[in-house]
């Protein structure tokens, strides 16, 4: 069982351990991160934010399959803006959550066409006004699109951090003020994009929710959870 951050600050506040966490994930990612179209440089910013909207409720493999189909019909924001909501819904139906996603894309497309954002700050302000795009989606997109330092944390990050550092952050990052504090410590100032991709894939392939692959884990020597299993 985890221990509270307040009681065990000394366990967590260990800069060496934070450094190992960040550098190990970056190193692992060099040879192990998965290839998805939205991670490639030839994907437009429009396509990247659309992919992030889809990734909210759908797994990466399904989104990777669906993206080319969607982009054939809606290659840019102008095309969405010129379409009826019902046609966008119809196109999104195979992916699920189609009504809500269609509204998100319609509002997003309108803002993109009218404001034509270029800089990070312009994108950031614009996305704050789109229903259905929350902190995680916005920050994950900014990291992916611009490789800037932002914090994008979800339940997977919290699971990994709780296990590794032996702490008890709440599962919902919005309900625990310690989450951003810890995330700021372990998210690097540069290579944020590489780090985010490594983190996502590490949680999906190694530090899984059920039956984590501790024997294969590059973090196990310093991992509190692993020590408790020995
Ligand atoms: S040792 Fe196990 S629990 Fe700890 S970080 Fe690695 S996979 Fe997760």
- Per-residue pLDDT of 181-195, as tens digits, reads 999 999 999 999 999
Give the per-residue pLDDT at 13. 54
> Boundaries of CATH 1.10.1670.10 in the chain?
9-32+151-229
Q: Give the residue whose CA is nearest to atom 4 of ligand 1.
A: 223
In the CATH hierarchy, which fold is given to the domain comprising 9-32+151-229? Endonuclease Iii, domain 2 (1.10.1670)
Give the per-residue pLDDT at 174. 80
Distance of CA 211 to the CA centre of its chain: 22
> Boundaries of CATH 1.10.340.30 in the chain?
37-146
* Residue 217 alpha carbon, nearest atom of ligand 1: 6
Q: Does domain 37-146 have CATH number 1.10.340.30?
A: yes
* Residue 224 alpha carbon, nearest atom of ligand 1: 4
225 Cα: distance to centroid of ligand 1 (angstroms): 7
Average pLDDT over residues 166-171: 88
- pTM summary value: 0.90
Give the per-residue pLDDT at 10. 44
- 3 has which bridge partners? 167
Alpha-carbon torsion (157, 160, 166, 170), positive or negative: positive
């Amino acid at each position: 069982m985890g221990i509270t951050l307040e009681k065990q600050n000394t366990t967590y506040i260990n800069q060496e351990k934070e450094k190992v966490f960040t550098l190990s994930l970056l190193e692992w990612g060099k040879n192990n991160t998965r290839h998805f179209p939205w991670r490639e440089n030839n994907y437009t910013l429009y396509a990247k934010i659309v992919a992030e909207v889809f990734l909210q409720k759908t797994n990466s493999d399904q989104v990777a399959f669906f993206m080319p189909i969607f982009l054939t019909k809606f290659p840019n924001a102008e095309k969405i803006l010129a379409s009826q909501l019902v046609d966008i819904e119809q196109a999104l139906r195979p992916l699920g959550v189609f009504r809500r996603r269609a509204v998100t894309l319609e509002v997003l497309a309108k803002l993109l066409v009218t404001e034509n954002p270029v800089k990070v700050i312009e994108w950031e302000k614009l996305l704050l006004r789109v229903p259905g795009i929350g902190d995680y989606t916005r920050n994950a997109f900014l990291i992916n699109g611009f490789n800037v330092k932002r914090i994008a944390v979800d339940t997977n990050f919290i699971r990994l951090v709780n296990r590794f550092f032996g702490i008890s952050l709440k599962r919902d990052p919005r309900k625990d003020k310690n989450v951003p504090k810890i995330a700021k410590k372990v998210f690097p100032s540069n290579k944020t994009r590489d780090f985010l991709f490594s983190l996502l894939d590490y949680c999906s392939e190694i530090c899984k929710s059920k039956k984590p692959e501790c024997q294969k884990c590059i973090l196990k020597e310093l991992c509190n959870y692993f020590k408790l299993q020995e």
